[in-house]
Amino acid sequence: MTLQQLKYAIGVAQSLSFSKAADRLYISQPSLSSAIKELESEMNVRIFLRTARGVTVTAEGAEFLGYARQVVEQSELLESRYRDTKPSRYLFSVSTQHYAFAVNAFVDMIRSYGEDEYEFTLRETRTHEIIDDVRGLKSEIGILFLNAFNEKILNKLFRENDLSFTPLFAAKPHIFVSASHPLAKEKKARLEDLEPYPCLSFEQGEHNSFYFSEEILSTLSHRKSITVSDRATLFNLLIGLEGYTISTGVLTADLNGNGIVAVPLEIQDEMTVGYIKHKNMPLSLLGTQYLAALAKFNPGNKKGA
């Protein structure tokens, strides 16, 4: 086993394609395939499944790659410290539901990273795609919420895909409305107070189950309902149409300004925001840094609540 082989395996996992990985690693595809086969044979582990539809990472492969990343990161730190060489450009990806605090934490992580070169990806996407991204190692971490309504279904999916869910914080449901909304200065909002206003939610594509909704109370019907695909559009409609959406209540003015406010919703429910990752894969250094940045936005820490 060599460091180069480990880097090749990490490259294939990031691209989920031998041809794309070969291009990025400046190696021929046959040489890359041969190096991976030698690594799998030597370590007695099946890292990848090759099918007509592409490449997938096995459960044992995900665990192996987690350790491989740690070895490569540590070797680059050693070289940087003692040979005065610059570490390779790091790659890191997160998939998340449409949370402003997840973006803020991503900004904090990049600012603290301190390197001149990097290749990071932040995907605000649908719930089912978050699970697929982490399962397939397209993202190291996925951010979503559980509550009494969806936890049974989502936990089943986590188990089936060898993923673990770790809570970050608990949040009481709030509505997000514009600062000029009639309910903006209320201490609490009741469900009946919301009836005259458009309810905004994020569309979930072909997996449009109530259990994948990013908003609690997804089974309720509304006289006025609008579905959107991105957070910027949702915020614009909150302002332009006096709409509302139901979320965690965690907002920060750093990236969002003061045009949107959070009002507690008077219902008996709680959202547990957390992250998913491969069950047996240790977090990378960047993954650990990102989670540390996320911790700053815990409502219990009084930031952005």
> What are 27-42's pLDDT values in tens digits?
898 899 999 999 999 9
Residue 132, phi then psi, degrees to nearest 5: -65, -40
What is the pLDDT averaged over residues 170-196?
A: 93
Predicted local distance difference test score (pLDDT) of residue 84: 62
pLDDT higher at 305 or 260 = 260
* CB count in 10 Å sphere of residue 62: 23
Contact 248, 100 (CB under 8 A): no
| Residue ranges of domains in the chain, CATH in brackets | 1-82 (1.10.10.10), 170-270 (3.40.190.10)
pLDDT of 303 over the 50 cut = no
**Token reading at 90:** 């790091």
Contact 280, 162 (CB under 8 A): yes
pLDDT of 102 over the 90 cut = yes
> What are 62-73's pLDDT values in tens digits?
888 878 887 887
Contact 250, 101 (CB under 8 A): yes
Task: Identify any residues that bridge with 275 across adjacent strands, giving them in sequence order.
Answer: 143, 166
Q: How far is CA 254 from CA 111, 208, 246, 264, in A?
A: 14, 32, 21, 21
3-state secondary structure the chain: CCHHHHHHHHHHHHHCCHHHHHHHHCCCHHHHHHHHHHHHHHHCCCCEEEECCEEEECHHHHHHHHHHHHHHHHHHHHHHHHCCCCCCCEEEEEEECCCHHHHHHHHHHHHHHCCCCEEEEEEECCHHHHHHHHHCCCCCEEEEEECCCCHHHHHHHHHHCCEEEEEEEEECCEEEEECCCCCCCCCCECHHHHCCCCEEEECCCCCCCHHHCCCCCCCCCCCCEEEECCHHHHHHHHHHHCCEEEECCCCCHHHHCCCEEEEEECCCCCEEEEEEEECCCCCCHHHHHHHHHHHCCCHHHCCCC
pLDDT higher at 128 or 78 = 128
Predicted local distance difference test score (pLDDT) of residue 245: 94
Contact 169, 299 (CB under 8 A): yes
Taking Cα atoms as reference points, which of 120, 169, 112 lies closest to residue 141? 120
Residue 154, phi then psi, degrees to nearest 5: -70, -40
Percent of the chain with pLDDT over 70: 92
Predicted local distance difference test score (pLDDT) of residue 136: 79
Percent of the chain with pLDDT over 90: 43
Task: Burial-class residue 120 by CB neighbours within 10 Å (0-12, 13-18, 19+).
Answer: middle
Alpha-carbon distance of 233 to 230, in angstroms, equals 6
- Mean of all residue pLDDT scores within the chain: 86
pTM for the model: 0.74
* CB count in 10 Å sphere of residue 230: 13
Alpha-carbon distance of 139 to 92, in angstroms, equals 7
* pLDDT tier at 283, thresholds 50, 70, 90: confident
What is the pLDDT averaged over residues 83-106?
A: 81
What is the pLDDT averaged over residues 92-100?
A: 92
Which of 8-12, 143-147, 215-219 reaches the highest mean pLDDT?
143-147
What is the pLDDT averaged over residues 262-282?
A: 90
* CB count in 10 Å sphere of residue 222: 14
